[in-house]
Amino acid sequence: MAGVKTDQDVITYRAAVAEGIAREMRRDPSVVCLGEDIGGAGGVFKTTAGLFEEFGPGRIWDTPISEQAIVGAAMGAAMTGVRPVAEIMFSDFLACCWDYLANEIPKVRYMTGGQVTVPLVIRTANGGGLGFGAQHSQAVENWALTIPGLKIAAPATPADVIGLMASAIRSDDPVVFFEHKGLFASKGPLPPDDHVVELGKAAVVREGTDVTLVALASTVHTALAAADTLADDGVSAEVVDLRCLIPMDLTTVLASVGKTSRLVTVEENPHQAGWGATLVSVVVDEGFELLDAPVRRVASANVPLPFADALEDEVIPTADKVVAAVRSVVNY
């Protein structure tokens, strides 16, 4: 098995990345991986540990330090029958290959009338909270959200890493797969071998009646921590893990808001043009009469992320910030 499990039934988030890829590589010989240091080194975050040893250099390709080369090669391979899983080491570096990601990859299927598909996955380590500074800590899911033709997954748990990875690799459309750096050491149950999570299917990870908290990736855990605090005050918060931004499961969100009548989004994107703005606009368009209070968004501040831990904590969402936002809508 690729990666290292902590025991028979538990796996870390980082090991789940390698495990999810390995399961699909065993199932489908057309799946290959490429990226910087993903071979013998096992990846800079050890998220590809064990893959080179199991599948060898014919299917695990170490590349030069060139995001354009990695994504360009992956695109060409995908157009000719291979299913590449390409790694961009930090999501901030998607900017280096943005022409491929925004102008080329998502347009091919449409421009060829469906004659050519681009079944590739672009994996990348995303998000802050570890003090990596302004150029290595951004949460950039909202960059990809602006591009029609891309699917976007961002798991919060090891089981969802494996299940969403399966769906992403099997998809005939390109998927950007955001792995949160702050979750790599987290642990969770190891899912069964046939575990697949449908792209675009959100999960209600905590039931509640007073307010809906919608979150993604690391902010799911932030929302759950806030819900624990709120419960001590008699406020019942329902937490929805979106899992994906495209497709976005607004049916589950609207059903939850219909039950609670209040909505708070929790997102690591900057407040300006974050994914919460898109979600809120749809809720207001399609479910305004469900609401008993204004919607609130808890998001990162519109500033470059500081290097200092204490300053970074001031910028990104925290449980305390979520609790304050919930109290404002519950007491409205």
List, by residue number, the catalytic residues.
Answer: 67, 136
Measured CA to CA, the distance from residue 105 to residue 294 in angstroms comes to 39
| Lookup: tokens for 38 | 């993903």
Largest CA distance in the chain: 60
Measured CA to CA, the distance from residue 6 to residue 185 in angstroms comes to 11
| Residue 188 three-state SS | strand
Q: Which residues contact 7 (CB under 8 A, 6 or more apart)?
A: none
Using DSSP bridges, classify how beta strands 151-153 and 83-90 pair: parallel, antiparallel or unpaired: unpaired
Amino acid at 51: L
Q: Which residues contact 74 (CB under 8 A, 6 or more apart)?
A: 34, 84, 86, 120, 122
